[in-house]
Amino acid sequence: MANSPEGSVSLRDADVLVPRLKALADPVRLQLVNALAQRDEICACDFPALVQRTQPTVSHHLTVLVKAGIVHREQRGKWAWFALCRPVFDELSATFADHAAAAVTSDSERLCCG
C-alpha cells in the first residue's frame, strides 16, 4: 500500500484499508489477532478458551477477519486452522509506521491549534 508523497493515503488504498480497520475495530477480534500474532497457527477449537468467548462468537469474529483478508483459514479434517495473513498484517503495520513517522517529522506543521 503506497502512500502519496505528502504521507496521506490514496483513495484506492483507503478502499482497501478501511474494511481491514473495521474488522480490527472490535476487542474480541483484536484478541484473536494478537493470539495469532504470537503463534504460527491456531486450531479453531483452542480459540474459545484463549479469548474466553463461546465457540459461535469466536466463529463469527474469525469469519469477519477471514473476509477482511487478515486471517487465513485452512480446513484439516474436521478442524479449521487459522493463521495471520502475514503480508496483509505487515502491510497494515507498515502503513501505521509510515504515518507515525510522518506525524513526527511534520509536527511543526500542525493544522490545528495544539
Domain annotation for the chain: domains and CATH numbers = 11-97 (1.10.10.10)
Average pLDDT, the chain: 85
Burial of 88 (0-12, 13-18, 19+ CB in 10 A): middle
Give the span between the Cα atoms of 16 and 90, in whole angstroms.
14
Task: Report residue 17's pLDDT band, with 50, 70 and 90 as the boundaries.
Answer: confident
**Global pTM value:** 0.77
Q: Which residue has the higher pLDDT, 12 or 52?
A: 52
Task: Report residue 92's pLDDT band, with 50, 70 and 90 as the boundaries.
Answer: confident
Give the span between the Cα atoms of 63 and 77, in whole angstroms.
19
H helix runs in 25-67, sequence order: 27-37, 47-51, 55-67
pLDDT at position 34, please?
A: 94
Q: Which residue has the higher pLDDT, 104 or 20?
A: 20
